[in-house]
Amino acid sequence: MSGKMKIAVLYTGGTIGCEGSPLAPVSGELFRKRVYALPCFRNGCIRCSEGDIAFCIEWTTNPVDSSDLMPLDWVAIASWVLERYTCYDGFVILHGTDTMSWSASALSFLLQGLSKPVVFTGSQLPLASGRSDAVQNLLTAIMFAANFRISEVTLFFDHLLLRGNRSVKVDSRSFNAFLSPNYPVLGSAGIDLTVNSTVFLNPPGGSVSLDEQRNRALRKIEFSELRQALPEYSVIALTLFPGIQAGIVDALLTLSPSLKGIVLKSFGSGNAPASSGFIDALARASDKGVVIVDATQVLSGRVQMKRYETGYQLQRKVHAVCGHDLTAEATLAKLICLTGRAMIDGSGREAVERGIETVLCGEMTL
C-alpha cells in the first residue's frame, strides 16, 4: 500500500453489501471487488486535496445481516482493530444499520484508551443499487478516519458524524437514519468536512493509551478471557409497558445461562409501576445478585430516579443503578462488557454498579 494515510476497512455484512431478493450479504471477496472497481476508490486509493488515502478492505469469516451479530462478534471486531493498530492511521467498520449503535457502543467500551479513529458506517440501500447511499457513506467515513485525530469510536451516516455510544437509529426509510439525542454531533459532511473538536474525547494518557504496546498486550489477554466469559451469563433489556406483571421478572430468573443484569427501559424519567408486585419481583432479582439499571425508553432526556415516587422506589426498594442519559443501546453494551470484566477479575457486582455510574468514554453526562 502507498499513500499519505492508511485506513483499514472491515466488512461485516449488512445492507451495504447485500444483493438478491430477499436481500442477503455477498462474500467479502465480491464486495471488495465491487468497491475497488468504482472510480472514486481507484483500487484502494482515494485522492483528495488533503493528500492521498490508501485503504484496504478485509472481511469477517461470514458476513451477515447485523441482526445476527452477537457480543462475541463485538469482541472479534475489537480484536481485529487491536491486531492492526500499529499498521494503520484509522479504521472503518462496515456494519448493518439495525444493530450498529449497539456494536459502536460496545467497541467504545472494549477499546478504552483508543487514540485513533474507529468509524462505523453502512447504508440504507445496497452498494449495487442505483440510488444507493453506500458510496458516499463509505467514502466520507474513510476521509473522516484519515483526516482528523478523533480518539474515539464514532458513527458516520448520511452527513453526520456521531459519538458511537451516543447514537440511535431513528428511521428505517430515510438516508438520515441516525441521531445523537443527548449529545452534540462531532462533525458533518457537506461540500467540506467539518468537526466540532470541542466535544471530542481528550486523547488518552500514556497509562491507558493503546499506543503503548503493554496496554495492547493486556487488552488482548482481556479479549481472550472475555470470549470465555460471555457465554456464561445473560444480560437482557426489559421494556416496560402498561400492565407488565411480576411473573415476567420471575421467569427471567430461570434463564440459562444465569441472568446477571437487566436494563430496565422504564417510563419517562425512570418510572416503573408499583402494582401487581412488579417492584417486589425486581427486588427479588436484585437480592439474587442481578444488577438492574434504570434506563428510560424515551429517546431524549435522562433518568431522574428521585423525581417521582414511582422512580424513587426503584432506587429505594430495588437498589437499581441510575442510567442517567445513556441510550438504551449503550446501557446494554456497557452492562454486558462490565459484567464480563467482573467475572474475569472476580470484582463482583459492586464493581459493575460503580462502572455503570462512571463515565468511561463519553457515553453519558452526569
Instruction: Extract the annotated binding site for substrate.
Output: 66, 97-98
Secondary structure class of 160 (helix, strand, coil)? strand
- One DSSP character per residue, 176-227 reads --EE-TTS--SEEESSSEEE-GGGSPPPPPTTT-TTSHHHHHHHHHHHHHHH
Annotated binding site: 66, 97-98
Neighbours of 349 (CB within 10 A): 15
- Grid cell in block for residue 306: 428521585
DSSP state of 267: B
CA gap 333, 330 in Å, rounded: 5
For the chain, the straight-line distance linking the first and the last C-alpha, in angstroms and rounded, comes to 44
Residues acting as catalytic residues: 15, 97
Helix boundaries (H) for the chain? 28-36, 71-83, 100-110, 134-147, 213-229, 246-252, 278-287, 309-316, 328-345, 348-356
